[in-house]
Structure 1
């Protein structure tokens, strides 16, 4: 009985060892076969706030800069920038007519888009308030508000529908615009604190309009307003370039890093196809 028991024990031990070895081998093979996940294919569209205008050097056309948040996003969270086609001066219409949608296809996993500001005449209002009188500032601001409320929603809706059709599998992130001023630090050129506040409220209205349109299409909106608080063009530590700079009223290097941080924190790779 003792000899038989010993033989049985040895046999059981050999079988158990073999099972464990095979299981480990299979697990190792599965891990090796799986390998690292495919990179997240990323395309970046939009206007100068997406192209990085404000921080040279730029590409010969469209004012694209390595400071742009799409370039900074490349390599983060397994994101691989595929097509960077954002172009300074783009509107919701020229994103389409300028060919930016050609960058998109069924392989696009992540798409960022900044568009809408240039449709409203926003820069005209800013200059009017800085260099003109109170009446000129009021008229220009009212005109911008009217365009945001009456013109922009339909334009955004058409653009977003075309984006969704061109990139049917993409997670779309729409970025908002920063407030330009910090009224608490007093007048900036000809713009009083009250006029600066009016312009900031225009930026808030623009962002709210874009956010509503994005939500209607299932897109994610990234609001940078809070991140830029106390960093307007007239703040001690501005993240917006002043009127005398060639890139006036665009983010500086710190501003674009702030955009990058906002988009990075908003993007959840588990929600993306990879």
Structure 2
């Protein structure tokens, strides 16, 4: 039976339009990060999608790059010098390569951070279906995303990770995961029941599990951000995820990007030039 949709048509249309915009934003990558002092600083390049570009916290440069991105907030810590900040909103494992992000990497790169994979699996379709569609549409979209995560994404990640390793042979590579978007303990949200919010979070868990396994196969370090976002989903009293009426719908707030920064900063520990990609 079709359930009652507890959201306005305008909110769902804003969400769809926003996700479509982000999905089409990927273009030619460009260097644009702030550069620190030279010398023995660690040369750091930041790649990835909208979660790496800082989308959700304007103003933006090209590709939805924000000065609130975790890469920018990390600049200067652990003697890091952000050399090339080329993450691009809407990037997939394929467009990361075709869009030119790999050209930021070379033999001088000491550290790479990378957030990628969420745009390859139809995740935005599942979120829209659950918040504004029927029960059947939600279940079908989540099931399809799960299938893509488990059957298609591993090979896509293996391929792009291999190219990152080849382009920056001496770099340490840190891969970040994605947060759960919702806090079901605070009840239903818009057109989604608590069970549907839980199903969306479970799919996010599967996504992180697959990304972590691929990172391990490549010899990269995985940083899990989920616990830092616990209790701060889009439907919580203190959300670190933007809601559907915000232009940056379902991306982190400034506090959310600070949580990403803290997670990566904690995982890095001491970083030295030439630390090597197999450092854990």
Which TM-score applies when normalising by structure 1?
Answer: 0.85
- Which residue of structure 1 lines up, in the alignment, with residue 52 of structure 2? 50
Give the aligned partner of residue 212 of structure 1. Answer: 213
Query: Higher Cα Rg: structure 1 or 2?
Result: 1
Query: What residue number does 2:94 align with?
Result: 93
Q: Find the counterpart in structure 1 of residue 226 from structure 2.
A: 225
Q: Give the Cα–Cα distance (whole angstroms) in 2 for the partners of residues 142 and 271 of structure 1.
A: 43
Name segments (4+ residues, structure 1) moved above 3 Å.
none
SS at match of 1:180: coil
Alignment match, 2:161: 160
Q: CA deviation at 1:132?
A: 0.4
User: Residue 33 of structure 1 corresponds to which residue in structure 2?
Assistant: none
| Aligned mates of 1:143, 1:247 — CA distance in 2 | 24
CA drift at 1:77: 1.0
Deviation at 1:207, TM superposition (A): 0.3
C-alpha distance in structure 2 between counterparts of 1:225 and 1:81, whole Å: 25
Q: Is residue 192 from structure 1 mapped to residue 174 from structure 2 by the alignment? A: no
Whole-angstrom CA distance in 2 between matches of 1:219 and 1:85: 19
* Rounded Cα–Cα distance in structure 2 between residues aligned with 1:50 and 1:178: 13
Q: CA deviation at 1:273?
A: 1.9
Please give the residue correspondences for 1:1-274 in structure 2 after superposition, counting only pairs within 5 Å.
38-59=40-61, 61-270=62-271, 273=274
Structure 1 gap segments, 5+ residues each: 1-35
Give the RMSD, CA atoms, in angstroms: 1.1
- Tell me the secondary structure at the aligned position of residue 63 of structure 2: coil
CA contact (8 A) 2:97 2:160 kept: yes
Report the CA distance between 1:69 and its aligned residue.
0.3
RCO greater where, 1 or 2, for CA within 8 Å and sep 6 or more? 2
Q: For the residues of structure 1 that align with 2:160 and 2:226, how far apart are their CA atoms? A: 23
Aligned to 1:3: none
SS of the residue 2:114 aligns to = strand
How far, CA to CA, are the matches of 2:142 and 2:75 in structure 1?
A: 37
CA distances 1:158-183 after superposition (whole Å, capped 9, x unpaired): 00000000000000000000000000
Does the 8 A contact of 1:171 with 1:272 survive in 2?
no
Look up the SS of the partner of 1:93 in the other structure: helix
Distance 2:81 2:167 in 1: 19
8 Å Cα contact 2:181-2:250 kept in structure 1: yes
Partner residue in 2 for 1:13: none
Structure 2: any 5+ residue segments left out of the alignment? Answer: 1-37, 276-280
- The Cα shift of 1:271 comes to 6.0
Instruction: Give the TM-score of the pair, scaled to structure 2.
Output: 0.83
Cα distance, 1:269 vs. partner?
2.5
* Count of paired positions: 238
**What secondary structure is seen at the aligned counterpart in 1 of 2:141?**
helix
Bigger mean CA deviation after superposition, 135-144 or 261-270: 261-270
